């Protein structure tokens, strides 16, 4: 069982001992630390925080604990109930709130949950802000409100509709073309809140759909990370239903992947590539993704006359660089689309709308669309960490060994070879080292990953 406290929030497994897992006491402590930080930002009479959750089994319990803690601090809560990460992100500024909390462990299995924390703009906290909250939680210096000053909880079920309305109002979303295209899709929402939000979006666009795992029960029918090996049922359903493509999201709907009409993965790395291709064709500009994302985005961006930059892994790092470089679209290769015109957060719903617009205008099969992009292959593997392992020393040794390749070290170690690359980094959310590689063939990518896994294991066992 695990509890991970980091600048990006608190994430852990449900049950077990306090401080070792995400127990009710840990949830209350961290919510109170966040509430204290909110009050430190500015002095006012009326504080407000938006709270929503994905459909995982522990969500109702954790949300109740978090909301009751906040009202105990005199902070009013806007309760979105079942929601998505991007919906909560959009609700924060719409509500003129002081912040937001999303209860979701994203792609992690059902035993996990987490508190994701937002600032008053509806964006994830930066490292300095996250550290302050950790310091508050560790200090225990938290003051609660007196009885006459308790907060109140207000339920608001309108934000799915408001979120979708904002998407449909974007000039980039070609509503008329989508409605005329007579497209049919299959949706795998892993029995979480995408099963509510995505059908609402598709209904508004007159897109026919078949639901697969769209009941928000939190009982995930397969590993919730949207990777090929987890999506056999979706592949079969797309072919059986003669659908134009399949849609799969993670439990909190900030990651998006597609499957072509033949039941083959479009590739979550290419979600951002396709959406960026469409956006750049309408509005020239720059793009940003993280260091673990495909080179294809760079290639497509340069084809449209723009400039591509790579940030450290993590949504807040991508957003920071997007603002710095005035990027008009960006995101992460795990299927996360960030469109600043809507909001600075990964958003699968706007990704679906952009992808539908691209298909409707090009009138092309998804398999042919994929074939039109630069062809790279990626391997994503990981090594489980042990408590006694000095990961920083391991990565430093790798950096020194490959110094002639001029590795990048802003986030772990990334080594760029002529026709391939490898990125080694500690995960922010799990006790693992991630090994991402990309090459001109799947075998080359897999072999490169295996080579570095062997090197890391050899170093760890010295």
Q: Looking at residue 343, which CATH number applies to its domain?
A: 3.40.120.10
Task: Report how far residue 191's alpha carbon sits from residue 8's, in angstroms, rounded to the nearest whole number.
Answer: 25
Q: Where are the alpha helices (DSSP H) in 42-157?
A: 59-72, 85-94, 127-139
Q: What is the structure's pLDDT at 165? A: 98
Task: Report how far residue 434's alpha carbon sits from residue 425's, in angstroms, rounded to the nearest whole number.
Answer: 5
270 and 408 both lie in a single domain: no
Please determine, for residue 388, whether its predicted confidence score (pLDDT) is greater than 80: no
232 and 90 both lie in a single domain: no
351 and 425 both lie in a single domain: no
Please determine, for residue 1, whether its predicted confidence score (pLDDT) is greater than 60: no
- What is the tens place of the pLDDT at every residue in 300-329? 999 999 999 999 988 999 999 999 999 999
Active site residue 403: no
Of 371, 395, 414, the last residue of a domain is 371
Of 140, 157, 174, the last residue of a domain is 157
Among residues 218, 211, 97, 74, which one has the least CA distance to residue 159?
A: 97
- What is the tens place of the pLDDT at every residue in 89-128? 999 999 999 999 999 999 899 999 999 999 999 999 998 9
Domain range for residue 150?
3-157
137 and 179 both lie in a single domain: no
- What is the tens place of the pLDDT at every residue in 61-79? 999 999 999 999 999 999 9
88 and 53 both lie in a single domain: yes
294 and 166 both lie in a single domain: yes
136 and 176 both lie in a single domain: no
What tokens does 138 get? Answer: 């560790």
42 and 80 both lie in a single domain: yes
Number of structural domains, the chain? 3
Of 113, 132, 157, the last residue of a domain is 157
pTM comes to 0.93
460's CB contacts (< 8 A; 6+ apart) are 389, 394
Stated as kind and residue range, the H or E segment containing 11 is strand 9-13
262 and 207 both lie in a single domain: yes
- Report the CATH number at residue 384: 3.30.310.50
338 and 435 both lie in a single domain: no
193 and 325 both lie in a single domain: yes
* Catalytic-role residue among 8, 58, 106, 192: 106
Q: What is the structure's pLDDT at 428? A: 66
108 and 175 both lie in a single domain: no
Distances (CA, A) of 154 to 6, 51, 151, 228, 426: 30, 10, 10, 40, 39
For 43-199, list the strands marked E by DSSP: 47-53, 75-82, 99-103, 112-118, 153-155, 184-188
Task: Report how far residue 460's alpha carbon sits from residue 454's, in angstroms, rounded to the nearest whole number.
Answer: 10
């Amino acid at each position: 069982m695990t509890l991970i406290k980091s600048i990006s929030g608190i994430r852990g497994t449900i049950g077990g001992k306090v401080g070792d897992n995400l127990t009710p006491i840990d949830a209350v402590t961290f919510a109170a630390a966040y509430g204290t930080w909110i009050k430190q930002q500015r002095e006012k009479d009326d504080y407000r925080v938006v709270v929503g959750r994905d459909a995982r089994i522990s969500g109702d319990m954790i949300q109740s604990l978090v909301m009751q803690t906040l009202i105990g601090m005199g902070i009013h809560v806007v309760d979105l109930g079942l929601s998505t990460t991007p919906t909560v992100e959009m609700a924060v500024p719409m509500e003129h709130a002081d912040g937001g909390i999303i209860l979701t462990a994203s792609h992690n299995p059902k035993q996990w949950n987490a508190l994701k924390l937002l600032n008053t703009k509806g964006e994830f906290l930066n490292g300095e802000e996250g550290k302050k909250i950790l310091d508050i939680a560790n200090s225990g210096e938290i003051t609660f409100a007196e009885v006459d000053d308790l907060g109140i909880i207000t339920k608001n079920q309108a934000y799915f509709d408001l979120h979708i309305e904002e998407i449909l109002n974007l000039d980039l979303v070609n509503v008329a073309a989508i409605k005329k295209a007579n497209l049919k899709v299959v949706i795998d929402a892993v029995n979480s809140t995408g099963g509510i939000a995505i059908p609402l979006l598709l209904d508004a666009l007159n897109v026919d759909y078949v639901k697969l795992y769209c009941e928000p029960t939190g009982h995930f029918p397969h590993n919730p990370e949207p990777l090929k090996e987890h999506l056999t049922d979706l592949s079969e359903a797309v072919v059986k239903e003669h659908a134009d493509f399949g849609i799969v999201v993670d439990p909190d709907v900030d990651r998006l992947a597609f499957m072509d009409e033949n039941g083959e993965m479009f590739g979550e790395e290419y979600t951002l590539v396709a959406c960026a291709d469409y956006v750049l064709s309408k509005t020239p500009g720059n793009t940003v993704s993280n260091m673990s994302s495909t080179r294809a985005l760079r290639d497509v961006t340069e084809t449209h006359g723009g400039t591509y930059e790579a940030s450290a892994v993590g949504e807040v790092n991508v957003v920071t660089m997007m603002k710095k470089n005035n990027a008009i679209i960006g995101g992460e290769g795990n299927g996360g689309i960030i469109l600043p015109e809507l909001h600075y957060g990964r958003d699968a719903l706007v990704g679906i709308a952009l992808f539908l617009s691209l298909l409707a205008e090009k009138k092309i099969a998804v398999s042919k669309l994929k074939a039109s992009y630069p062809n790279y292959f990626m391997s994503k593997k990981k090594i489980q960490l042990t408590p006694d392992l000095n990961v920083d020393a391991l990565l430093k040794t790798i950096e020194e060994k490959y110094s002639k390749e001029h590795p990048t070290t802003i986030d772990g170690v990334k080594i760029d070879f002529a026709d391939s690359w490898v990125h080694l980094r500690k995960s922010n959310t799990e006790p693992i080292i991630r090994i991402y590689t990309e090459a001109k063939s799947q075998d080359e990518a897999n072999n490169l990953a295996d080579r570095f896994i062997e090197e890391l294991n050899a170093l760890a066992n010295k």
